[in-house]
Structure 1
């Protein structure tokens, strides 16, 4: 039987226990169930995020003042998940601006982001039936050097007198430069940084800040697409389940190892075999149910035959310092 198992390509995962795969299955089920619920029109609850609710107010204020909306998708070198999320938020902002014929400015740190940003904003204007109002110069490549970029964006904020600014993505030492510059001209600011060290600076100088998961939940919150909303709610369910597992584990360990339950054990686990002890002893952490649940034992008889790569030398006795 073991020889048949060891010949299976995925046999190396058999010693990982059932808990990990169970959580993966549970997470997948939670997401699929909630996507189905959202697709059927079920109103899934997402808590109010003040920074995202203020987008309409910020763009409306810029329209009333006749001044542009300025957006910065962070200082990422490539088009990664953070940039995509920032551009998703900016596409929503641009959609509102297009409806009110309000000018926008998007300042890019990378040429790749500049190219993608142009396409995204152009599509937004075309979808709103305002393709003739799209200005190719509204998406600008400033510089791929940190403080040259900071100086260029700050200069644009001051010259254009932006009424609303959005800073979303990866920010570093320049975060406070942007925030203070926009604050000096009275712009309403909505910001979010994936760098935890920069979030306090945005909190100190900006009107609204998206913290932590709020940044990644923005697409689902703004668009209410069933797939996005269902995925978000499903992940929240899984977080609750994992937290409940921690609480349950702490309670069970406390009961088994608590001051009033010094349980004596007369057996011990050696690999996968339970052997009797010569003398009973007090229970250790490794004897508890939760420890055994999270730390399954490995069967030494299970051997994995891995095919060698072509040209790989077969180690012989005496090589590699072994005896």
Structure 2
């Protein structure tokens, strides 16, 4: 039987290596131990454990049935598109999932873990789908979104206070650029993830990087000294919609008037959480909030179509008018 200690971690590391690397057995052992020690310092696996793991990968009945031939010097899948993520859970993995679910259910109603209920419902719905029962929940997710693979490595980089060298290429860029980056926080917006931190090359401490195809890769700069953030990130995001903050952006008061009862929709799902209502009887269809003006704010306002009007500031009112006039050209 394979060594169960950190087995899920070992399997994921091996799956990555067998898809993307060309290692000999000894090189594979060295790499796996390096990655394990990265999370669990001082721990490693033996030659025997790695051999047993490889047997699990090859085993078609009780393992993953991976396309990994015997008696080869270079350990690599013959089918580069194969991944153990495509295979059903092994028996012990299903046991761990069931045990974890039961543990989480104990804390389901604890105020400190108030998001567990939603997580458990999502998980149980996924289990039901695998069991061929009717699907109940449908989530607002981007099936083509590939940036999620960066999420865990960047999260760990922040926890470990690592300095990164980022290789990035914008959609309009013809060449890649590299810069030194000190990651500080990760934020989700509109079903996408973004990492914020210090761009030490440009000396901008509120730099954002989207976790998508534009982020080519990142490497840890082992000898660089990590710089802590002094940004109040809660205030930073509270005074803006979305994730893009133009340089030298100023906070302004925005007043919106809604039509056809759409103010009720806004109040139940506001794109600016710190909005206020007016007390005046003749302004019950209006709201106001303080924010910066950026593209995400304009996009959210435009999403209400003709059911919203910008009352102030004048600069935003003018910008919205220009958008509407540009859109008119498409339909004439």
Query: Could you tell me the TM-score, scaled by structure 2's length?
Result: 0.27
Larger Rg: 1
Structure having the larger proportion of residues in helix: 1
Q: Indicate the structure with greater strand content.
A: 2
TM-score calculated relative to the size of structure 1:
0.28
